[in-house]
Structure 1
Amino acid sequence: MELNEFQQARLSRDPRFDGVFYVAVKTTGIFCRPICPANAPKEQNVEYFQTANEALVSGYRPCLRCRPESAPFSPAWNGTQTTVQRALNIIHEQGFHDLKLSELAERLGITDRYLRKLFVEKLGVSPKHYVQHQQVLFAKSLLHQTHMPIQDVAFASGFNNVRRFNDSFKKITTKTPSEVRKHPVSDAPIRLQLNYQPPFDWQHWHDFVDFRKIEGMEHVGSSSYGRTFYWPSDSGYIKGRFNAVHRPDKQGFNVSIVIDDAKQLYSVVQKIRQVFDLNANVGVINKALQSSGISEHNLSAGIRIPSCWSVFEAGVRAILGQQVSVKAATNLLNQLVEQLGDKEVVNGIEYRWFPTPQQLAKSRLLFLKIPEARKQTLIRLAKFCIDNPDTDPEQWLELKGIGPWTVEYAKMRGQSNTDIWLDTDLGIKKALDIFPLIEPAKASPWRTYLTFNMWNML
């Protein structure tokens, strides 16, 4: 962005730039989101940063009014297949507990020294400082929005003890956790507001998911979505569920979360963000789609990737969807969850959980009226995921019964991969017959949004 773009976005409080940059005020030592409702400072007193980390490192404190920690995370280069992006994905998916930077570098196939160099170059901070800042910013969000005790906030933010948490928090924000806390401690459910850059095409997201929902596992309302989930932990899996209410007036979702272990809260929140694709940089994506040949009339501005909770779930959905209608596949999924998934009644409501790979692998799937070959494909996938919990869907091609379409679909809805182009899909072929001038290659690395947009144009 050019300086005049920063200035215009700040003065107009343009929500499309929320999370793209931050405004630091030299006279107060505070940094804000560009949508902050406070009186706009004079330009000579302003400094701009592309990330909250850079503002923190430069000595600025986060604003208590607009709460920069709540801004959507969407830097301009987000979505490209860079080493830094891969590192951030691992950090945010794994969370902060037991995170070793040496192991992170090894997973990326680079040295610790080169990893530090890349982080400083792209984010302005070392990996260690980046993680610490994310911990503190997440803790600040919990202190501001929830009723959680400080000890629980510390553990949920990845700190092993409260003393270290207090020291780090005060060092970065200049305030103690007690001074930032807004609500009294209670047993109230965890409630957070998760923001995005508008526009958000809620109707498209809602309709896509509603047509494929699994009863008891997913709850879809006119302006809300909730579901149950498992999350890996030291003891195997923990259970949880969430409900999110869309608030377009706040450019976000009000989310309530129930989880067995608060230590996993950060990773779960990031996964919820992925489910709704809240980190999408809409402006960048729309430009790419228009460059591919989609007219402004046919462009579904704010279209998002409706993600499944896990790659395994996305793979099962794809396999059951082979050569049958969406409605038929959804019926099969409901049978699968009904027969194999855990159930729990809470306040008179029955909740169901999607089967784990272990639960599916133990079954012969006799209740499913599908070819035996397809049943065996499901069982092979489950066993493979048990042996390879961090599996890449590309590896599934080694399994009999799984082809490129299934893998691409799992990457699209299980990993929220932004650059999936389902050129073998019948719907896409039909759309290209109607709109032959569209050039998919020009939409890269955002071809997943092109895929959904093309389906939407039929």
Structure 2
Amino acid sequence: MTDRHYQQARLARDHRFDGRFFVAVKTTGIYCRPICPAPSPKEQNVRYFETAIAAANAGFRPCLRCRPDSAPASWAWKGTDTTLERAMRLIDDGALINGSVTGLADRLGISSRYLGQLFQRSVGTSPKQYSLYQQVLFAKSLLQQTDLPITQVALASGFNSVRRFNDCFASVLRMTPRSLRRPAGSRSQEPGIRLFLSYRPPYDWAALRDFMQTRLIETLEWCGDDYYGRTFSLTNGASGRFTAWHRPERFGFEVSLEFSQPVALLPVVRTTRRLLDLDADSSTIDAHLAPIQAQLGPERPGLRLPGTWDAFEAGIRAILGQQISVAAARNLVRQLVAEHGELLPGQGHEHRLFPTPATLAQSDLMTLKIPGRRRQSLIDFARFFDTQPEQAADPEHWLALGGIGPWTVNYARMRGLGDSDIWLGSDLGVKKALGQANGAWQPADASPWQSYLTFYMWSLL
């Protein structure tokens, strides 16, 4: 995009470009989203940046009206380097909140020096500064949207001390945390924490909702016409639940979060965004898939990938779903959760958590009416996650386990990790849809959005 393109998108306040670039105003020292409702500045007073952190590095602070921290991340500036994309995803999930850059580099299989070079070349800052910037922007959202005390905001954002939080906040945003507090009268009196998570339209909520409802596990999940919610557990032993209400008129979801104990919220919010696929650039994906969809059936703009909480849950669902119907697989998952899922603390018998790897590894699972080999695959899979969590985090390592093949791994990568380029050509539902399809096209034509093509094939059934 050129400055002329940026100018046209800014003046039109086009929501399709939200998150793809940011507008900085020289006369005020503030940077905004292109959809900011404030009066448009003169072009000679404007600078354009591809990322929010680039605008901050240039000395601009975020607008308090349009809140650039809530703009969905754009694929456009992430580049094509898969190592960089994975590093950014891990940092967004909180890898550097309690970990080190060296440890992150080891997980990626590269040196810390090379990791730093990747970030400097593509993002314009170091991995640690990128992580701190995300933490500060998230803290800004908590200060503006919740009534949490500043001390709890600091802890929820991953800072170990209020002093460190105040110093980072002042250096990054050039303002104090207290200056962002909402008036007491405008704060919600409802329990838990409420946040608003944005997306770039279009968003096909009906398709995602119907997919979730078809696979709904009672007590673990709940879903209605305009909401989806579920329980979840974290590696530090904390647990909780969230409910996300779709607000199409505001292009986002109003999310209520409740926890059993104080936690760093940033990884939870990032996972929720992935589960609802809020960061997809639908206009780009739709334009790429339109020629293929035209040969297969009606176009479905705004398709999103319905996720699961983590790769372990996705793997368990995939193993139980091997070569059987969706309804049969759902019944098996329901039984597994009912028999081995712990009750969510403070919720009585209303909600359960998905079984942990340790729990399933110690069970014989004899009550499940499945072939013995598949039962052993479940146990081996759970033991792998329980004893070697770092290796198990990469689904490619699952192939060494008996009873787990490419379909299981790819299904888990798509739903558990949000991988956008997975084609499930061996899936029974995809095969059925392909039997009704016409046209001269290849799945590779959809790359790097083959996962969305897979979901589109399911939507045709």
Q: TM-score, normalised by structure 2?
A: 0.94
Gaps of 5+ in 2: none
Give distance in 1, aligned partners of 2:39 and 2:427. 51
8 Å Cα contact 1:147-1:187 kept in structure 2: no
Partner of 1:428: 430
Partner of 1:251: 251
Partner of 1:416: 418
Shift of 1:68: 0.6
SS of residue in 2 equivalent to 1:245: strand
SS of residue in 1 equivalent to 2:263: helix
Give distance in 1, aligned partners of 2:210 and 2:455. 12
CA distance 1:188–1:137, shift in 2 (3 Å) = same
Per-residue CA deviations over 1:242-299 (Å, capped at 9, x if unaligned) read: 1110001111100011123433211010000010011111122122213546459633
CA distance 1:188–1:177, shift in 2 (3 Å) = farther
CA distance 1:297–1:77, shift in 2 (3 Å) = farther
Partner of 2:332: 332
Partner of 1:398: 400
Shift of 1:79: 8.0
Give distance in 2, aligned partners of 1:145 and 1:331. 39
Shift of 1:407: 1.1
Give distance in 2, aligned partners of 1:3 and 1:262. 45
Shift of 1:147: 1.0
Partner of 2:282: 282
Count of aligned residue pairs for this structure pair: 455
Partner of 1:358: 358
Per-residue CA deviations over 1:344-383 (Å, capped at 9, x if unaligned) read: 4756761111100111112221221222222111111111
Give distance in 2, aligned partners of 1:258 and 1:166. 26
1:449 aligns with 2:458: no
Partner of 1:130: 130
SS of residue in 1 equivalent to 2:350: strand
Counterpart code for 2:395? P
Give distance in 2, aligned partners of 1:39 and 1:381. 56
Give distance in 1, aligned partners of 2:235 and 2:347. 26
Partner of 1:220: 223
Shift of 1:104: 1.8
Partner of 2:82: 82
8 Å Cα contact 1:428-1:455 kept in structure 2: yes
Gaps of 5+ in 1: none
Shift of 1:183: 4.9
Shift of 1:95: 4.4
Per-residue CA deviations over 1:48-98 (Å, capped at 9, x if unaligned) read: 111110010101010000011111112304484522111101111234422
Q: Which moved more, 1:83-92 or 1:180-189?
A: 180-189
Counterpart code for 2:113? R
CA distance 1:188–1:174, shift in 2 (3 Å) = farther
Q: What is the percent sequence identity of the aligned residues? A: 52
Counterpart code for 1:457? L
Partner of 1:113: 113
Q: Which moved more, 1:97-106 or 1:62-71?
A: 97-106
Q: Which moved more, 1:124-133 or 1:375-384?
A: 124-133
Per-residue CA deviations over 1:171-220 (Å, capped at 9, x if unaligned) read: 22221101111154988411110011111100000000100010011010
Per-residue CA deviations over 1:88-136 (Å, capped at 9, x if unaligned) read: 0111123442231122223223333322222122112222221221111
Counterpart code for 1:421? W
CA distance 1:110–1:39, shift in 2 (3 Å) = same
Q: Which moved more, 1:349-358 or 1:296-305?
A: 296-305
Give distance in 2, aligned partners of 1:441 and 1:144. 44
Partner of 2:60: 60
Give distance in 2, aligned partners of 1:425 and 1:107. 31
8 Å Cα contact 1:217-1:351 kept in structure 2: yes
1:166 aligns with 2:133: no
Counterpart code for 1:379? I
Give distance in 2, aligned partners of 1:296 and 1:69. 38
CA distance 1:2–1:293, shift in 2 (3 Å) = farther
Give distance in 1, aligned partners of 2:228 and 2:378. 27
Give distance in 2, aligned partners of 1:368 and 1:109. 39
Q: Matches of residues 149-164 of structure 1 in structure 2 within 5 Å?
A: 149-164=149-164
Q: TM-score, normalised by structure 1?
A: 0.95
8 Å Cα contact 2:231-2:344 kept in structure 1: no
Give distance in 2, aligned partners of 1:210 and 1:248. 19
Per-residue CA deviations over 1:399-425 (Å, capped at 9, x if unaligned) read: 111111111111111111111001112
Give distance in 2, aligned partners of 1:148 and 1:413. 32
Q: Matches of residues 167-206 of structure 1 in structure 2 within 5 Å?
A: 167-184=167-184, 188-206=191-209
SS of residue in 1 equivalent to 2:121: helix
Give distance in 2, aligned partners of 1:42 and 1:399. 61
Give distance in 2, aligned partners of 1:106 and 1:438. 40
Give distance in 2, aligned partners of 1:257 and 1:83. 31
Q: Which moved more, 1:15-24 or 1:281-290?
A: 281-290
Partner of 1:382: 382
